[in-house]
Amino acid sequence: MSSTKSQQEVPEKVFQEFLQNLTDAGISVELVTRLRNVLLVNKTFTEIALKGAVLGEELVP
Amino acid sequence: MISVESIVIKEFRGIRDLTLNFKGKNFAVCGPNGTGKSGVVDALEFALTGNVSRLSGEGMGDVSLKQHGPHVDKRNDPDKARVTVKVLIHSLGKTVTIERNLKAPSEVNVTPNDPAALEVLRQVAAHPEVVLSRRELIRYVLATPGKRAEEVQALLHLDQVEKVRGSLQKIANSCDKQLIALNTVSAQASENLKRALNITELTKEQALKAVNVQRAIIGLEALTDLTSIKDGMAVSSTAKPQRIPKAQAIADIKAAHEAIIEITGDSTVMRASEVIDDLIALGEDPAVVASVQRESLYVTGIGLLEAEACPLCDMPWNLEELKKRIQVKIDHLKEISRKRKVVEAKIAPLIVTIRKTQAAISTLAGYAPLATPPVPVEIFRAFNSSCIASIERLIAILPFAETIAVLANVSIVSQVVLDAINNLEKAVVALPESSKQDAAREWLTVAHERLDVFREAVRKQKVAKEQAEKARQISNIYATTSDKVLTGIYTAVEKDFGSLYRFVNRGDEDKFEAKLIPSLGKLGFDVDFYGRGFFPPGAYHSEGHQDSMGFCLYLALMRYTKGSAFTFAVLDDVLMSVDASHRREVCALLKKEFPNTQFIMTTHDPIWLRHMRTEKLITGRAAIQFRNWDVNNGPTRWDDRDVWTEIDDYLKVNDVRTAAGLLRHYLEYTSGELCHRLRALVEFRGDAQYQLGELLPAAIKRMRELYKRAKTAANSWNRQDVVKEIADREAKFTVLADTSNAEQWQVNVAVHYNSWDNLSKQDFEPVVRAFKDLLAGFMCQDCSEYLRVLPDRETPELVRCECGKTAINLSEKKS
């Protein structure tokens, strides 16, 4: 294993790949942006924050 | 990321005042147990993270960093307990000073206060795993899979990954549940609409046909779509008293009767009875009542079973037997859980029936106050509430007794409700028939309202469906992604771990392999045992092998996690069970595989310290040896300057006895080191308890032999200048040795140093001077390091020092 691998925390790596996979799966840019903000910018991993990102401002029935 | 240049420790743990200069290089702290080595480790961790895990980990009870971190004499003065480290931040090429005190452990004073440096230090503080003790080491190897997963997850910061996974699953599940409820609401709205339209199938064609029939009665044109059923109907300008739409009310009452017939019918009674029997059967199992809590307790408990005795009562237990017994209980509870799911499947149709009845009766609540005489609407509302409570109880299922009580009454509709429905029906039937036109208007009004309700229900259902699908898709993508990344990590770590372990055990376990097996919340770890199969590390491997496994797994995890930023680690006596030959390999491993990582290592074993030196894992003065510790002064180290100053101090106060003891102790330590470095011949002792009289004369004899051999070698090369130079050195050394009289100990080891105690200060001072000079005779005059013979095995070729300025050839010219 190379010891010169650039440093990236494992969660960060998982989140980056997750967001890329969402984009590849055709999930809307808005939703991916919201999730990016929660996971990589604000780093708030609460259920409320994630729910807000997943469901957005769509009318919750 | 960083390397540590130096540390200054004041009034911290067992240390009063200690400065160590690491110079960014590997460094060893050696000393017997209780001499303050771990204090250095704690101080480093504290300075970098603001915490000391040893004082805040499991089982520390009332011990706290703030209260018990300061030296015991400064326990009420935590601001005096300070640690200052100077670190080099590689990425910034800057050196910063970090200072913390125990009055405010979380406050860090960084100089210079550079934002980029602060960010790097924040990242360092987020990785307390740079400090590794044997306690942590064993956690990676001998822990249960659940516990190991926790440890590895903590090291890799996977808790965040798992938290997000759990949250996304919860969101998807809650969206699914919401959709199920809205599906029911939508179905009920559909039934109500069909009833209002008096059609059997809710199609646009049938609905339009029914609507246009009524519209024709009041002379309205036929519609082609259902945008507004009442389109064209006159809006009354004066408020008319509300009345019951007779035909619709009769249809709704009929639907209510049908729902009541269903809920009170044999089918419902039998289903409820069947579920009651199932629940009674489950309830007869004493483990079931608190199954959820107990399953959680057992799963947690089996993960915590590590010690050989109960942590509550200290009674010894058979760990394997206990684990087996608890596993049987967990398996039993899983069987209960399976049975519970079967029961839940049987309950689901009952919930649908209750919802249907509740919806039908709720519709009647709207007619109740308009009837003559009025029917108490509270009766319908109370029934509605009762249905909702029953549904909630059936969904919760626990406690069984309450669920059984609900099931026992599920097919009973109280006479009060039945009477209220009958009274409403009588009142509705008694209503005068409306004119055809009025009836058509009422029909269209009700149909319009119910179409609106249906449309809203369908809209909500559609949104919920989209949300549920999206939430599930996102959750699934996350699960797939994280599984893939984590599997990749475990595969890479597994491979690297195997390679590191094979290096340490080369020649013995060259074909060693390991398997890290991730599963939900667990991380299995099986290792190859000499080709006989894969087993848990604790199954067949020795304690020493387990230690080196833990160490290699740690290194593999750190290398994966931090990559090139793995530049610093503190290893606190981590290889105490590993034998000498494997420790030597560990030194070689660290040097070869982690050349850019600064290791600060503690050990109680001076032999491993020697290995570190001979393998050049540490060089020069990159080590400190604590010789003892006392509560007033903290650790005392073996340091030339310190020792001679200390001896002088004792002599100044005429304490010859203590000065003599210290000299003897120091000479024993140094003589052993000299014999090792010079490869002196000493009579072997199995207990390794060598006396000064056995060591120092051997070192002197060896030094003389080496000079003799060096002169022979110089002669063979015809280097008379070198011969003369060595002869001069030899002559000086001989004077020093003779002055010390040290070799006479070979004659009677008991006489000389024991008699020191009886000497006066004036008599003892020359003795001290003689030995100080003698030891200097073994040193390089430039770097003041003791000389050593190279190589450390086979035929001696060279006597040299660390700086290389003293280099005496021992090899003769081949003729």
Per residue in B669-728, pLDDT (tens digit) is: 889 889 988 999 999 988 778 888 889 999 999 999 999 999 999 999 999 999 999 999
Is the per-residue pLDDT at B601 higher than 90?
yes
Buried b (16+ CB within 10 A) or exposed e, B436-448: eeebbbbbbbbbb
Is the per-residue pLDDT at B133 higher than 90?
no
CB pairs under 8 A between A and B: 107
- B788, containing H or E segment: strand B788-790
| Chain B nearest C-alpha distance from A11 (Å) | 5
Outline where DSSP puts E strands in B429-566: 514-519, 522-528, 534-535
Is the per-residue pLDDT at B170 higher than 50?
yes
Residues 6+ apart with CB under 8 A from B734: B704
CB contact under 8 A, A7 and B473: no
Give the pair of three-digit tokens for residue B3: 């390397």
Residues in B closer than 8 angstroms to A27, CB to CB, are: 470, 473-474, 477
- For the ranges A19-28, B504-513, B743-752, the lowest mean pLDDT is seen at B743-752
CB contact under 8 A, A61 and B560: no
Residues in A closer than 8 angstroms to B481, CB to CB, are: 14, 17-18, 21
Q: What is the reported pLDDT for B613? A: 77
Q: What is the reported pLDDT for B539? A: 86
| Chosen from A2, A3, A30, A48 to mutate, greatest number of chain B CBs within 10 A | A3
Q: Classify strands B2-12 and B82-89 as parallel, antiparallel or unpaired.
A: antiparallel
Residues 6+ apart with CB under 8 A from B497: B514, B516, B549, B552, B553, B555, B556
Residues in B closer than 8 angstroms to A3, CB to CB, are: 559, 563-564, 566, 593-594, 596
Q: List pLDDT tens digits, range A45-55.
A: 888 899 999 99
Is the per-residue pLDDT at B238 higher than 50?
no
For residues A42 and B306, which has the higher predicted lDDT (pLDDT)?
A42
**Of the ranges A51-60, B488-497, B656-665, the best mean pLDDT one:** B488-497
| Chain A nearest C-alpha distance from B562 (Å) | 5
Ordered strands of the B514-519 beta sheet: B514-519, B522-528, B534-535
| Chain B nearest C-alpha distance from A42 (Å) | 13
Is the per-residue pLDDT at B756 higher than 80?
no
**Of the ranges A2-11, B322-331, B542-551, B745-754, the best mean pLDDT one:** B542-551
Angle CA B440–B442–B446, to nearest 5: 115
What is d(CA B470, CA B478) in angstroms, rounded to the nearest whole number?
12
| Chain B nearest C-alpha distance from A36 (Å) | 13
Nearest CA in chain B to A28: B470
| Chain A nearest C-alpha distance from B27 (Å) | 21
What is d(CA B381, CA B251) in angstroms, rounded to the nearest whole number?
20
Q: What is the reported pLDDT for B639? A: 67
B295 falls in which pLDDT band (50, 70, 90)? low
Cα dist from B376 to A50, B183, B385, B421, B426, whole Å = 46, 30, 15, 10, 14
Q: By CB neighbour count within 10 A (0-12 exposed, 13-18 middle, 19+ buried), where does B726 fall?
A: buried
Q: What is the reported pLDDT for A58? A: 55
Residues 12-51 of A with CB under 8 A from B: 13-15, 17-18, 21-22, 25, 27, 31, 35, 39, 45-47, 50-51
Q: What is the reported pLDDT for B751? A: 42
What is d(CA B744, CA B697) in angstroms, rounded to the nearest whole number?
8
Q: What is the reported pLDDT for B60? A: 57
Q: Classify strands B109-111 and B94-101 as parallel, antiparallel or unpaired.
A: antiparallel
CB contact under 8 A, B474 and A27: yes
B584 falls in which pLDDT band (50, 70, 90)? confident
Nearest CA in chain B to A13: B485
- For the ranges B68-77, B274-283, B754-763, the lowest mean pLDDT is seen at B754-763
Cα dist from B178 to B140, B188, B300, B388, B786, whole Å = 42, 15, 31, 15, 79
What is d(CA B444, CA A53) in angstroms, rounded to the nearest whole number?
43
- For the ranges B29-33, B463-467, B544-548, B606-610, the lowest mean pLDDT is seen at B606-610
**CB-nearest partner of A18 from B464, B481, B559:** B481
Q: What is the largest CA-CA distance in chain A?
A: 51
Q: What is the reported pLDDT for B521? A: 60
Is the per-residue pLDDT at B312 higher than 80?
no
**CB-nearest partner of A1 from B471, B485, B560:** B560
B486 falls in which pLDDT band (50, 70, 90)? confident
Q: Return the closest-CA partner of residue B316 out of B303, B329, B307, B325.
A: B307
**CB-nearest partner of B161 from A10, A21, A60:** A10
What is d(CA B541, CA B527) in angstroms, rounded to the nearest whole number?
9
Residues in A closer than 8 angstroms to B561, CB to CB, are: 9-10
Is the per-residue pLDDT at B383 higher than 60?
yes
| Chain A nearest C-alpha distance from B185 (Å) | 12
What is d(CA B697, CA B743) in angstroms, rounded to the nearest whole number?
5
Residues 573-602 of B with CB under 8 A from A: 593-594, 596
CB contact under 8 A, A22 and B566: no
CB contact under 8 A, B563 and A59: no
What is d(CA B445, CA B270) in angstroms, rounded to the nearest whole number?
41
Give the pair of three-digit tokens for residue B35: 């001499």
Residues in A closer than 8 angstroms to B163, CB to CB, are: 45
Residues in A closer than 8 angstroms to B559, CB to CB, are: 1, 3
What is d(CA B613, CA B151) in angstroms, rounded to the nearest whole number?
32
A5 falls in which pLDDT band (50, 70, 90)? very low
SS3 sequence, B8-68?
Answer: EEEEECCEEEEEEECCCCCEEEECCCCCCHHHHHHHHHHHHHCCCHHHHCCCCCCCCHHHH
**CB-nearest partner of B168 from A1, A8, A50:** A50
Is the per-residue pLDDT at B164 higher than 70?
yes
Is the per-residue pLDDT at B59 higher than 60?
no
Do residues B431 and B373 make contact, with C-beta atoms less than 8 angstroms apart?
A: no
Is the per-residue pLDDT at B635 higher than 80?
yes
Q: What is the reported pLDDT for A59? A: 44
Q: Which residues on adjacent β-strands are paired with residue B15?
A: B12
**CB-nearest partner of A10 from B157, B461, B477:** B157
Q: What is the reported pLDDT for B307? A: 56
B462 falls in which pLDDT band (50, 70, 90)? very high
Does the pTM exceed 0.80? no
| Chain A nearest C-alpha distance from B468 (Å) | 9
Cα dist from B689 to B162, B179, B354, B692, whole Å = 54, 79, 86, 10
Q: List pLDDT tens digits, range B504-529.
A: 998 788 889 998 887 666 778 889 99
Q: List pLDDT tens digits, range B555-578.
A: 998 898 888 888 999 998 887 778
Determine the average pLDDT of the residues in B419-447.
Answer: 90
Determine the average pLDDT of the residues in A5-9.
Answer: 55
For residues B815 and B662, which has the higher predicted lDDT (pLDDT)?
B662
**CB-nearest partner of A5 from B163, B478, B563:** B563
B744 falls in which pLDDT band (50, 70, 90)? low
Q: Return the closest-CA partner of residue A24 out of B464, B489, B486, B473.
A: B473
CB contact under 8 A, B563 and A50: no
CB contact under 8 A, B473 and A27: yes
Determine the average pLDDT of the residues in B132-150.
Answer: 74
- B385, containing H or E segment: helix B377-396
Q: What is the reported pLDDT for B472? A: 95
SS3 assignment, position B89: strand
Do residues B20 and B27 make contact, with C-beta atoms less than 8 angstroms apart?
A: yes
What is d(CA B338, CA B340) in angstroms, rounded to the nearest whole number?
5
Nearest CA in chain A to B461: A61
Q: What is the CB-side half-sphere exposure of residue B276 using CA atoms within 13 A?
A: 16
Q: What is the reported pLDDT for B687? A: 79
Determine the average pLDDT of the residues in B601-626.
Answer: 83
Q: What is the reported pLDDT for A61? A: 45
Q: Look over chain B and give the mean of its residue pLDDT values, rounded to a whole number.
A: 85
What is d(CA B703, CA B732) in angstroms, rounded to the nearest whole number?
12
Nearest CA in chain B to A39: B164
Could you give the dihedral angle defined by the CA atoms of residues B454, B458, B459 and B464, in that order, rounded to the nearest 10 degrees?
140
| Chosen from B120, B162, B165, B482 to mutate, greatest number of chain A CBs within 10 A | B482
What is d(CA B565, CA B216) in angstroms, rounded to the nearest whole number?
83
Q: What is the reported pLDDT for B500? A: 95
Tell me the residue type at B474. Answer: I
What is d(CA B723, CA B727) in angstroms, rounded to the nearest whole number?
6
B324 falls in which pLDDT band (50, 70, 90)? low
> Of all residues in chain B, what percent carry a pLDDT higher than 70?
89
CB contact under 8 A, B460 and A46: no
B637 falls in which pLDDT band (50, 70, 90)? confident
Q: Does B559 touch chain A (CB under 8 A)?
A: yes
- For the ranges B137-151, B340-354, B611-625, the lowest mean pLDDT is seen at B137-151
Q: What is the reported pLDDT for B563? A: 84
Residues 437-456 of B with CB under 8 A from A: none
Q: Return the closest-CA partner of residue B746 out of B669, B682, B684, B661.
A: B682
Q: Return the closest-CA partner of residue B526 out of B491, B534, B505.
A: B534
What is d(CA B809, CA B230) in angstroms, rounded to the nearest whole number?
115
> Of all residues in chain B, what percent carry a pLDDT higher than 90?
40
Is the per-residue pLDDT at A1 higher than 60?
no
| Chosen from A4, A7, A39, A58 to mutate, greatest number of chain B CBs within 10 A | A7
